A and B are shown apart, each in its own frame.
Chain A
Amino acid sequence: MSAVLEVTDIKKNFGGISAVGGVSFDVREGEILGLIGPNGCGKSTLFNCILGQLTPSGGEVKLDGKVVTGLRPAELNKLGVSRTFQLLQVFPKLSVRENLILAGQEHQGSMASRLVGRSDAGLTEAANQMIGFFKLDHLAEEPAGGLSYGQQKLLDAAMAFMGGPRLVLLDEPAGGVNPSMLTDLKERLVAINREKNATFVVIEHNMEFVMSLCSRVMVMAEGTVLAMGRPDEVRKDPAVIEAYLGH
């Protein structure tokens, strides 16, 4: 399998503090890579450097072999890279369906055609399918701000898939989600991974979620890679146990 994402020696400094200190890894097509580490170890900063929300102090990011370092988030999204955020980022005043239409509309035609074309950008059907897929049917017309936290997390994840991305970076998708919804979320992610061969990188603190979802796990500590391997290998790694798992 070829690498969809190649990250080489990414560094990010804030003043004199090194948040990410030369991280390299790749993500293969169709893979679900877990990214774990203690709070403040640089996971989200690494995500933001990969996704163009922060300019890296050094290093290179390649997507399908092409250098994309420094591209803006919207440009990366057009290339098939999508993300979710650690904190909820839905549009509370829009309905669930409209959130999903918004999430996909910029992938439909040109900017001019979106002005003169249909108000739903031809996405109502696709949005309805996504709503059904994430079991949000009964909430389609509800304003997203009125949904429960777990439902908003599901919507947030569904929005990341509306543009038909090849690579999705999920930042703590399980955070604050109750166990039954967590099972739903995991099932949906696995289904999308299998059916659409979508590639995921998942930051998560919920070890059970990560270990059961991911084919490989990368462990970060103090801005660097501490370990990388299959979940069972990582679990046994003494350095990981000492730095993070603690048991």
Chain B
Amino acid sequence: MSGFAKPLKIAFGLIVIAALIVVPMNFNRYGLFILSQWAVMAIAAMGLNLTLGYAGQVSLAQGAFVGIGAYAAAIMTTHGWPLPAAIVVAIALSFAVGWVLGYPALRVQHHYLAFVTLAFSTLAFLVFRNESWLTGGIYGISNIPRPHIFSIATNKPLPFYYVCLGSLAIVSLAVWWLIRSPWGRAFMALRENPLRAQSLGVDTRRYTLMAFAIGSALGGVAGALYAPLTQYIDPVPFNLSLSLDLLMMVIVGGAGFFLGPFLGAMIAVLLPEWLRFTEGYYLMLYAIAVMGLLIWSPTGILGILDRYLAERRTKAASAQRAVAKSRLETVQ
């Protein structure tokens, strides 16, 4: 069975990627917007998954980093800078701010850390709203241009969807590399047992700061794509509720699982749309579905799969032990 598992996984992955490229060609403008939003939110959730799911550092500020990235991109591109340059600045800015925000995590943990990051989220929102000379205040920034990629205009929804999808692919590969590297193992050690990690030479201070900074930088990338996607930004989308939405995406998908943010973002962005046929009840049904899922599986959707696989492994190991025991008894 295990011999088939890897090719099966690769085949399934290729089918999903092909579907994400081909199927949206027939989507209308709104469908493409929702799918692009899914890709953007999946990037932001992947960042939070790194900070929270892998490194175990609670953050309620990911929405603020999406805002920082969005404003950096909006300000730069409306002043004639190309989007790739704006993305680099968004990454650098979010990384630096995320690094600084990581310092409280060296002293406080869990819900105390959540409150520190919540305060930062509020602070960022106030800056977006009140510093109108830079951010446009409550009127926001409009006419945010979409880029030309290799001389191809991405003004229309389909080309820009491919920009979002391509960015998601690049970020996914980078995160996949990171979590499989010794850094990923060190992040996990930081989450599971910081005391033991320290005694094995893991510099928990630097890894904590890195987990915050890299996770925040991915929030910045998402923001830098969000601005040209909506082509207008104001402070409201980046308030605390976005951070809570992103947290829900990570937890519902499965914190600490690579594919968790993809599924979580799918549920948070797409499920309400699919439920729209219920008209006035769609948000209620959505809330009930999420509550039901988390009661059934607090470790998220991928937690269910993980539990199933763990049970199978345990059964196989028990069977092996039983066979070994019976052989031993036969010999005796």
Chain A residues in contact with chain B, CB under 8 A?
51, 53, 72-74, 77-78, 82-83, 85, 89-94, 98, 101-103, 105-108, 111, 114-117, 119, 121, 142-143, 146, 159, 162-163
Choose among B193, B202, B317 the residue that contacts A89 (Cβ–Cβ < 8 A).
Answer: B193
Smallest CB gap from A73: residue in B? B198
Chain B residues in contact with chain A, CB under 8 A?
178, 180-183, 185-186, 188-189, 192-193, 195-196, 198-206, 313-314, 317
* CB-CB nearest 10 A-B residue pairs: A106-B201, A77-B201, A73-B198, A89-B196, A114-B182, A105-B182, A119-B180, A74-B203, A121-B182, A102-B185
Smallest CB gap from A84: residue in B? B199
Nearest-CB distance from B242 to chain A (Å)? 29
Cα(A73)–Cα(B202), bound, Å: 9
Smallest CB gap from A88: residue in B? B196
Cα(A162)–Cα(B198), bound, Å: 14
- Contact: A105 with B192, CB < 8 Å? no
Given contacts A89-B193, A102-B186, A146-B317, contact A115 B203 (CB under 8 A): no
Choose among B183, B198, B317 the residue that contacts A114 (Cβ–Cβ < 8 A).
Answer: B183
Nearest-CB distance from B262 to chain A (Å)? 21
Choose among B181, B185, B188, B200 the residue that contacts A159 (Cβ–Cβ < 8 A).
Answer: B200
Nearest-CB distance from B10 to chain A (Å)? 18
Nearest-CB distance from A203 to chain B (Å)? 15
Choose among B193, B196, B199, B203 the residue that contacts A111 (Cβ–Cβ < 8 A).
Answer: B203
- Contact: B183 with A115, CB < 8 Å? yes
Choose among A91, A105, A146 the residue that contacts B193 (Cβ–Cβ < 8 A).
Answer: A91
Smallest CB gap from B180: residue in A? A119
Choose among A91, A108, A111, A115 the residue that contacts B192 (Cβ–Cβ < 8 A).
Answer: A91
Choose among A74, A105, A115, A162 the residue that contacts B204 (Cβ–Cβ < 8 A).
Answer: A74
Q: Please name 15 further chain A to chain B contacts, defined as beta carbons within 8 Å, in addition to the given A74-B203, A105-B182, sorted by A numbering.
A: A53-B195, A73-B199, A74-B199, A74-B201, A77-B198, A83-B199, A85-B196, A89-B193, A93-B192, A98-B185, A102-B200, A106-B203, A111-B183, A115-B178, A159-B200
Nearest-CB distance from B53 to chain A (Å)? 13
- Contact: B183 with A106, CB < 8 Å? no
Choose among A83, A102, A119 the residue that contacts B189 (Cβ–Cβ < 8 A).
Answer: A102
- Contact: B182 with A51, CB < 8 Å? no
- Contact: A163 with B181, CB < 8 Å? no
- Contact: A103 with B200, CB < 8 Å? yes
Cα(A108)–Cα(B183), bound, Å: 12
Choose among B195, B201, B313 the residue that contacts A163 (Cβ–Cβ < 8 A).
Answer: B201
Choose among A74, A82, A85, A98 the residue that contacts B202 (Cβ–Cβ < 8 A).
Answer: A74
Question: Given the complex, which residues of B lie within 8 Å of A111, measured CB to CB?
Answer: 183, 203, 206
Choose among B178, B182, B193, B199 the residue that contacts A82 (Cβ–Cβ < 8 A).
Answer: B199
- Contact: A119 with B198, CB < 8 Å? no
Question: Given the complex, which residues of B lie within 8 Å of A94, measured CB to CB?
Answer: 185, 188
Question: Given the complex, which residues of B lie within 8 Å of A159, measured CB to CB?
Answer: 200
- Contact: A146 with B186, CB < 8 Å? no
8 inter-chain pairs at a CB distance below 8 angstroms, sorted by A residue, are A51-B199, A53-B195, A53-B199, A73-B198, A89-B196, A92-B192, A93-B192, A102-B182
Nearest-CB distance from B235 to chain A (Å)? 35
- Contact: A106 with B200, CB < 8 Å? yes
- Contact: A78 with B185, CB < 8 Å? no
Nearest-CB distance from B315 to chain A (Å)? 12
Nearest-CB distance from A188 to chain B (Å)? 19
- Contact: A101 with B196, CB < 8 Å? no
Nearest-CB distance from B52 to chain A (Å)? 16
- Contact: A101 with B201, CB < 8 Å? no
- Contact: A106 with B186, CB < 8 Å? yes
Cα(A91)–Cα(B203), bound, Å: 17
Question: Given the complex, which residues of B lie within 8 Å of A143, measured CB to CB?
Answer: 313
Cα(A102)–Cα(B196), bound, Å: 11
Given contacts A53-B195, A77-B199, contact A119 B204 (CB under 8 A): no
Question: Given the complex, which residues of A lie within 8 Å of B182, measured CB to CB?
Answer: 101-102, 105-106, 108, 114-115, 117, 119, 121
Question: Given the complex, which residues of B lie within 8 Å of A115, measured CB to CB?
Answer: 178, 181-183
Cα(A101)–Cα(B203), bound, Å: 16
